[in-house]
Amino acid sequence: MRQLSLIVNPAAGPCPRRARNLVDRLRELCPDDEVLVTESPGQARRWAAERRGRPDLAVVAVGGDGTVHEVANGLLGGGAMLGVLPLGSGNDFVKMLSSPRDPEQAVAWFRKAEPRRCDVGEVMLTHTDDRRERHLFINGLGVGLEAVVANSARNARYLKGFARYLVAALWHLALYKPPRMQVGGSDGEALRRQFLVAVGNGCCAGGRFRLTPDARIDDGLFDVCRVDTVSRLRLLRILPSVLSGRHTRFAEVRMSRVAAMDIDCPDGCMVHADGEVLAEEAVEIRVRVLPGALPLLG
């Protein structure tokens, strides 16, 4: 029977008591497996990296999208399989999976489920101070407004769950000044102001915003949603339809599928991946798909 290593982020859930109860329940259900509880950022990634060479092991991220992001980054390049048991506020990536949400059912399912191969995104960033960084993501990457909203929601103290993202989105719609971007690199379109560029491996971001509703995690492509500068009133008209993925019918919303994308932002723009802010002022963003790069349960 397959061994499990469950990496729990107790800070991911909206209710600390629920997280503690879940840890206790997992230890009851998995007396012969690891149940590891993180205490600091980056710990989940380090633990996953230490276990990635075991193809007989399922490493289960128990938390939100940030926890999934860390565990997936640690596992990439090895044979260990990724599983997800949601505990966080957004829980976007797990919407692409068929794995159970009930802990007892999920543990039994992780032991016997057949793995599939999941695409992973790679982004190369250049900051305004010429620093260059490489990051990986599993659900999605956002440039511009989406990254600003994700950052505000992540730092909100008095709201929980989807409410954090909705309030942040409404607030920044009123205040945000879209930066100039050139999408497609030097051979791309002209420099223009854009509210957002959302690069989706998964279909959902921010808890319920289905920015890339038709995305698949195993097709070797990103789905991309772009919105040019439009009036605030028009954006308020479009916003509710994003919850159902019907925003694609509006002329101001441009959808495409790509295996790679270059974005140049000479004034600097914020970038997030899987809800984690990677840059506050990136000037060059190079994104590409790594097809089937990660073994996944679900």
Which pTM was predicted? 0.89
**Which among 169-183, 225-239, 265-279 has the top mean pLDDT?**
265-279
159, pLDDT greater than 70 = no
Residue 8 has a CB neighbour count (10 Å cut-off) of 25
**Sequence ranges of the domains in the chain:** 3-113, 120-292
Confidence tier at 186 by pLDDT (50, 70, 90): very low
84 vs 227 pLDDT, higher one:
84
Residue 136 pLDDT greater than 90, yes or no = yes
The set of long-range contacts for 13-21, using a CB threshold of 8 Å and a minimum separation of 24, is 13/63, 13/64, 13/87, 13/88, 13/89, 14/89, 14/160, 14/161, 18/87, 19/87
Active-site annotation holds for 276? yes
| CATH for the 120-292 domain, from 2.60.120.1140, 3.30.230.10, 2.60.200.40, 3.30.1050.10 | 2.60.200.40
Least confident of 155-159, 207-211, 230-234: 155-159
296 vs 34: CA distance, rounded Å: 19
Instruction: Report the top-level CATH class of 3-113.
Output: alpha beta
The pLDDT assigned to 241 comes to 92
Q: In this predicted structure, what is the pLDDT of residue 12? A: 78
Helical axes 43-51 vs 65-75, angle rounded to 10°: 40
Residue pointed to by tokens 């497609």:
184
Of these residues, 28, 39, 276, 280, which one is catalytic?
276
Closest by Cα among 48, 68, 6 to 31: 6
